[in-house]
Chain A
């Protein structure tokens, strides 16, 4: 082995990639904190600390060097993505179970960074929504809806002690996706549904602004060339198209494309979750197929499935198919027939 090349682009590193992705989450995070209160800081803290602890533990058990691996920052990104997907103000053990599934089961039992077939954060989310559906629907009510504004102290009390001076009903409310699902099935007219407090001007109240901030962060990722356009465009395009077709067929049961785009985890999923390079398809055509199907599945699960949001399940389902998609979408090599 002669060792060339002798020069590397050292400013490129896994740590830098992870840090930049976390930086791109900041606009969405800020909006989240603004509209849904300081609870997100507590859940971020819990997930982050647990992430580092669990990763260190697993590396210790696997007899791997701890320092260099922790340095890559990947576990912190997983913690951020999971915290942003979960309702804030839930008891601390909910986050712990989620992080155990994400870091221990989805990541290290498969061999650590780069070896995991499933998106760790989404495995954590899926495990929680299957196991503790009640907790997973208790989202804090957004600014303007909440009867009682939550302070950082309240948030700590709720997460760690499981109680505070105020009752849960005072600060939680159903999400727009949830509300739509229940009300549409009850036969409530669309115009009436949309006047409910969970709804904003097009998506979930406040959630739509957070979604737009995720979109901004996603554009940052594109600008920094950390992701290519294929996955977000195919995911959102297919999601909107599927929603459009269903809405055309039965507008009383199926919400509009814009509502789907700006509700739940669509934007976060399109730019930050489906784009996880380890678990997504990696060829240009493969990314389009992968994300296109994931976008479609998201709407199908939302509209016909038992769970309010479908991003996690659709991404996980497509994760399984990613290696297969890659194998059949290999790009043409220079000098070979088109």
Chain B
């Protein structure tokens, strides 16, 4: 049975470069003397360290507790001694340091006590709690906490669970190898997800350049009687985008600004399914992941490495960078970023390290003017008009850029890839988005300041009024006292109180009107994750201290 595929608009087919790394089995990385485990490894609030320098920890022990709802725990990759808790280099495009727990391995790799059990015995809420405590976040690169995606809520029925094995970025093969070698666990993990979501159907989407993985999955499904559909999707980037894959497989478009769960679908990466399976059957925390090391290295391949492994050790495991290498990409060549610091460790988000060379990644030609040829629009999977976004972003007409749906852009890079003028289009969109967020932030800050000022003026006014009234009252009291028979005017006080109340109400109404005059924008009340991203981008921008006009220039 083959599923009818609904192709999305555009997309591209760059050189795949999968063969370099997908021919050899996953290699387990040996135990290393030191691991650096960042507390921020997922979207949301970073974990809070719960160990201290000098503590002894066991493999799999929680060293960072989940902080708030959008957060997951972080665990010790091996047993050893906590030697530092301090900001360290992290694999992040900003190059900023993140708080990390440094563990010196004792070499024994003693595990924390685990309680493997039957997940079928636990109710969904308890299972989700386990998922959070065992540190499961999306391993496709977005690292969104899985327990949230596994909680459809009361309002929403998830009918379709989609397992994302598309792996559409060139060079990356960690999901390919995982599906080939551990298909049973992947599908059983998906079974647990289906149970948690109470989804009716399970579809695994795999690009048709991975026939071995397809075969392994089909075999596993048959052997273990797992009711699912293994669907071939054409090899066309970005088929692995969540909304793109959902559309390919079901023909349902996830509405702009909504999540796939809003239309009854949930999409998980195959690696996440595998880790979830390990977590809920073996009670094993997410302390390892599979990562592709490829490009200009001696022995490209896939490695199962502990979270916290220095990236330099991973590159060394792949035989080291060959002479003439020209940098490293974290993630794929379409959406990844340049590694700033070789001391950065492996995190849950890192699925690939590509060693660059001038031959594999030639320097980008100089950008020429846009000729509005529309190649970008034909390539855009979101059906935007990228060249219009470019013109408006470049002219800093951000309002216009937003009205041309800038925020629907998924930054997949198809437009930049096809542009005959070699314009770094996506950089312009990132710049425009960051600027818009920054302006919203400034506006919010000034709104708050104005509100504070208004309230202060109101309070001072009120205090003055109250004082005056008090004086007036005292004077009246004196007057009445002075009058011989001492009969107080019966209504005087009530009138005063009413007057005071009226003044107060009028002032409050004024303040209210002033507040309402400032219309809230759609960027208000953003989820914490987005707020955080905004803050990060802002921090990066400040750090780089680059004037906006130069920001969009291609990296030298």
- B256 touching A12, Cβ below 8 Å: no
Q: Give complex CA distance A282, B372 in Å.
A: 7
- B374 touching A331, Cβ below 8 Å: no
Segment of A1-9, A169-177, A302-310 in the binding face: A1-9
Q: Give complex CA distance A333, B424 in Å.
A: 22
A282-B377, A330-B385 given; A5·B366 CB < 8 A: no
Q: Give complex CA distance A10, B417 in Å.
A: 8
| Residue in A closest to B356 when the chains form the complex, CB atoms | A6
The reply on A157 being an interface residue by CB < 8 A is no
- A333 touching B382, Cβ below 8 Å: yes
A5-B416, A13-B420, A333-B408 given; A113·B368 CB < 8 A: yes
Segment of B278-286, B344-352, B357-365 in the binding face: B357-365
The reply on A153 being an interface residue by CB < 8 A is no
Cβ contact of B419, chosen from A12, A115, A226, cutoff 8 A? A12
The reply on B8 being an interface residue by CB < 8 A is yes
- B417 touching A8, Cβ below 8 Å: yes
The reply on A278 being an interface residue by CB < 8 A is yes
Segment of B25-33, B80-88, B332-340, B499-507 in the binding face: B332-340
B387: chain A residues within 8 A (beta carbon): 282
A333-B383, A335-B253 given; A4·B336 CB < 8 A: yes
B377: chain A residues within 8 A (beta carbon): 282, 331
The reply on A185 being an interface residue by CB < 8 A is no
The reply on B209 being an interface residue by CB < 8 A is no
The reply on A320 being an interface residue by CB < 8 A is no
With both chains docked as a complex, state the minimum distance between the C-beta of B101 and any C-beta of chain A, in angstroms: 26
A69: chain B residues within 8 A (beta carbon): 368
The reply on B381 being an interface residue by CB < 8 A is yes
Q: Give complex CA distance A261, B431 in Å.
A: 48
Cβ contact of B334, chosen from A4, A12, A114, A333, cutoff 8 A? A4
The reply on B312 being an interface residue by CB < 8 A is no
With both chains docked as a complex, state the minimum distance between the C-beta of A198 and any C-beta of chain B, in angstroms: 38
Q: Give complex CA distance A8, B424 in Å.
A: 10
The reply on B93 being an interface residue by CB < 8 A is yes
- A278 touching B372, Cβ below 8 Å: yes
The reply on A63 being an interface residue by CB < 8 A is no
- B333 touching A4, Cβ below 8 Å: yes
With both chains docked as a complex, state the minimum distance between the C-beta of A72 and any C-beta of chain B, in angstroms: 6
The reply on A334 being an interface residue by CB < 8 A is yes
- B256 touching A336, Cβ below 8 Å: yes
B12: chain A residues within 8 A (beta carbon): 9
Query: Which chain B residues in 498-556 approach chain A with CB under 8 Å?
Result: 551-555
Query: Which chain B residues in 387-442 approach chain A with CB under 8 Å?
Result: 387-388, 404-405, 408, 413, 416-422, 424, 426-427, 430-431
The reply on B254 being an interface residue by CB < 8 A is yes
The reply on A237 being an interface residue by CB < 8 A is no
B427: chain A residues within 8 A (beta carbon): 1, 3
The reply on A17 being an interface residue by CB < 8 A is yes
- A114 touching B337, Cβ below 8 Å: no
Query: Which chain A residues in 129-149 approach chain B with CB under 8 Å?
Result: none
- A336 touching B255, Cβ below 8 Å: yes
Query: Which chain A residues in 74-122 approach chain B with CB under 8 Å?
Result: 74, 112-115
B111: chain A residues within 8 A (beta carbon): none
Query: Which chain A residues in 8-25 approach chain B with CB under 8 Å?
Result: 8-10, 12-14, 16-17
With both chains docked as a complex, state the minimum distance between the C-beta of B90 and any C-beta of chain A, in angstroms: 14
Cβ contact of B366, chosen from A1, A68, A226, cutoff 8 A? A68
- A277 touching B372, Cβ below 8 Å: yes
B405: chain A residues within 8 A (beta carbon): 333, 336
Instruction: Write out, one digit per residue, whether chain A residues 265-300 have a CB within 8 A of any chain B CB (1) or not (0).
Output: 000000000000110001100000000000000000
B337: chain A residues within 8 A (beta carbon): 2-4
- B420 touching A16, Cβ below 8 Å: yes
Q: Give complex CA distance A10, B14 in Å.
A: 11
- A334 touching B382, Cβ below 8 Å: yes
A113: chain B residues within 8 A (beta carbon): 368-369, 371
Interface size class of B (residues with CB under 8 A): 35 or more
With both chains docked as a complex, state the minimum distance between the C-beta of A336 and any C-beta of chain B, in angstroms: 5
- B420 touching A17, Cβ below 8 Å: yes
- A6 touching B361, Cβ below 8 Å: yes
With both chains docked as a complex, state the minimum distance between the C-beta of A106 and any C-beta of chain B, in angstroms: 15
A8-B417, A283-B385 given; A115·B430 CB < 8 A: no
The reply on B329 being an interface residue by CB < 8 A is yes
The reply on B156 being an interface residue by CB < 8 A is no
Instruction: Write out, one digit per residue, whether chain A residues 41-67 have a CB within 8 A of any chain B CB (1) or not (0).
Output: 000000000000000000000000000
Interface size class of A (residues with CB under 8 A): 35 or more
- B371 touching A278, Cβ below 8 Å: yes
Query: Which chain B residues in 221-255 approach chain A with CB under 8 Å?
Result: 243, 247, 253-255
Q: Give complex CA distance A113, B372 in Å.
A: 10
Cβ contact of B374, chosen from A8, A14, A16, A277, cutoff 8 A? A277
B319: chain A residues within 8 A (beta carbon): none
- B421 touching A334, Cβ below 8 Å: no
- B371 touching A14, Cβ below 8 Å: yes
A331: chain B residues within 8 A (beta carbon): 377, 383, 385
| Residue in A closest to B372 when the chains form the complex, CB atoms | A277
A226: chain B residues within 8 A (beta carbon): 373
- A5 touching B420, Cβ below 8 Å: no
A3-B427, A335-B253 given; A14·B372 CB < 8 A: no
Q: Give complex CA distance A8, B427 in Å.
A: 14
| Residue in A closest to B418 when the chains form the complex, CB atoms | A9
Cβ contact of B426, chosen from A4, A277, A336, cutoff 8 A? A4
Q: Give complex CA distance A68, B365 in Å.
A: 11
Cβ contact of B373, chosen from A4, A112, A277, A332, cutoff 8 A? A277
Query: Which chain B residues in 34-64 approach chain A with CB under 8 Å?
Result: none
Q: Give complex CA distance A278, B420 in Å.
A: 13
With both chains docked as a complex, state the minimum distance between the C-beta of A232 and any C-beta of chain B, in angstroms: 15
The reply on B370 being an interface residue by CB < 8 A is yes
Cβ contact of A282, chosen from B385, B431, B552, cutoff 8 A? B385
A8-B416, A333-B383 given; A277·B256 CB < 8 A: no
Residue among A8, A12, A283 with most chain B CB within 10 A: A8
With both chains docked as a complex, state the minimum distance between the C-beta of A315 and any C-beta of chain B, in angstroms: 16
Q: Give complex CA distance A112, B369 in Å.
A: 9
A334: chain B residues within 8 A (beta carbon): 8-9, 243, 247, 253, 256, 381-383, 408
Q: Give complex CA distance A14, B413 in Å.
A: 19
- B371 touching A114, Cβ below 8 Å: yes
Query: Which chain A residues in 217-240 approach chain B with CB under 8 Å?
Result: 226, 228
A74: chain B residues within 8 A (beta carbon): 371
Q: Give complex CA distance A13, B384 in Å.
A: 21
The reply on B375 being an interface residue by CB < 8 A is yes
B8: chain A residues within 8 A (beta carbon): 334
16 A–B contacts from the bound complex (CB under 8 Å):
A2-B337, A3-B338, A4-B337, A6-B329, A7-B417, A8-B416, A13-B368, A14-B368, A17-B371, A68-B368, A69-B368, A112-B369, A278-B371, A282-B377, A333-B405, A334-B9
A-B contacts besides A7-B170, A326-B388, A334-B382, 10 pairs, CB < 8 Å? A1-B553, A4-B413, A5-B413, A7-B334, A113-B371, A114-B372, A333-B256, A333-B383, A333-B405, A335-B253
**Which 4 residue pairs of A and B lie closest in terms of their CB atoms, listed nearest first?**
A5-B413, A114-B369, A2-B337, A3-B555
